[in-house]
Copies of this chain bind each other. A is one copy, B any other.
Amino acid sequence: MKSLKFGLIGTGFMGKAHAIALRSVGTAFPSVPSPVLACLVDSNAERASSLAKSWGFAQSSTDWQGLCTDPDIDVVDICTPNHLHKEMALAAIGAGKHVYCEKPLALTTKDAAEIAQAARAAGVRTSMGFNYMCNPLIELAKQAIESGEIGEIFSFCGNYQEDYLSDPATPFSWRCLRAQGGHGALADLGTHLINMAEYLLGPIASVMGSMTTVHRQRPDPASGEMRNVENEDIAQALVRFACGCTGTMDISRIATGKKCGLTFEIFGSKGSLSFDQERMNELRVYKTSDDEKLRGYRTILAGPQHPDYAAFCPAPGHGLGINDLKVIEVKNLLKSIENDEAIFSDFDNGYRVQMITDAIYDSSNESRWVNTEAAAN
């Protein structure tokens, strides 16, 4: 297997990020199969054609169904609005394609379960766009937890706070509609946090959520009239992990001042970990085994001694960026296909994330703790 032909659907924020990653991955990781930028799909033919040229795709199209069944395509890459994921993913899986999909996998747990099951049945490889967990320092955090370096885990405080809808004058978009975006802050931001939490600490067993829509109406850019916002600005939750660790989560799209505030603190019996995506090249680690006088949080700068960093730069502390995380994500997918082995985060993880967001939603509506396994059915 020397190369894999990618068809990319969608040309927004994530479409471009995927295109950059697909083009760069071979230079950074020469030993994985090369992605071939075969076809770019957008509902607007002119936009598809123009961006295909800019981004280096061999062809463009407006026909995503055609792409999914095109025998020349190995991987279908879905970067469209949330409500389109299901139909596209099922079509691609149905045609035996490997599928790469932005989060969230679907709008409901039921849909997510259906997609994940279809992928398993078809034996195709899948990947979700949970780029933040591809950070070398997150891998380091996972190693520190798994090796027992910070001991038994007591508690977790995780937030994902941004402010892109903090201003009530920011116009209405599909993200505010339940039928197109599904959940609000939970879908956009919470999915990343929940997946990160499960990656690091294992399954979340139960949740107690509280969701709030602060800006209940926003101006519709088309009509200029005020339109009802259908999903939450803020989702807060208490969580309990299967491992016994307990936690809090604050997920907000109106956290004024926060630009990419995906943060966590993990406290264990022998140490602790602290991370903030706004300083994505730093992991803070505390170890009780350090001599007491000189004990304190260590600020570890990402470097070639950490997983995947050396592919980008041989010198430590020089700084990776968000697009580099996407390159690692693509590399992981390429290796998954090459080795025919599942990875974290595949569609099964995407399903779990959807199930937990739905559990938080149900819990908030019903003012009670919800067991996540129960929520899945």
Contact = CB atoms under 8 A, between A and B. Distances in A.
A65 interface: no
A142 interface: no
Nearest to A274: B257
B257 A314 contact: no
A212 to B, nearest CB: 5
A267 B234 CA distance: 11
A320 B321 contact: yes
Given A208-B208, A323-B321, A168 B312 contact: no
A252 B26 CA distance: 34
Interface string A157-176: 10101111011100000000
Interface of A: 13, 16-17, 19-20, 23-24, 26-28, 30, 51, 53-56, 140, 143-144, 149-151, 154-155, 157, 159, 161-164, 166-168, 208, 210, 212, 214, 233-234, 236-238, 240, 246-250, 252, 254-261, 265, 267-272, 274, 277-282, 285-288, 290, 292-301, 303, 305-306, 312-324, 367-369
Given A167-B288, A267-B254, A368-B368, A317 B278 contact: yes
11 contacts: A27-B55, A154-B254, A155-B236, A166-B288, A212-B246, A237-B238, A255-B272, A259-B317, A281-B319, A313-B322, A313-B323
Contact of A256 (B17, B20, B140, B286): B286
Q: Can you tell how many copies of this chain the complex includes?
A: 4
A166 B258 CA distance: 31
Given A30-B54, A272-B256, A314 B248 contact: no
Contacts of A312: 20, 321-323
Contacts of A16: 27
A299 B301 contact: no
Chain A interface main SS type: mixed
B257 A315 contact: no
A297 B298 contact: yes
Contact of A27 (B23, B261, B298, B301): B23
Contacts of A55: 26-27, 30
Nearest to A302: B259
A192 to B, nearest CB: 12
Contact of A249 (B210, B248, B314, B322): B248
Contacts of A288: 166-167, 256
A210 B234 contact: no
Contacts of A321: 312, 318-324
B212 A303 contact: no
Given A23-B26, A257-B271, 8 more contacts: A30-B55, A157-B159, A248-B248, A248-B250, A255-B267, A299-B299, A318-B322, A367-B369
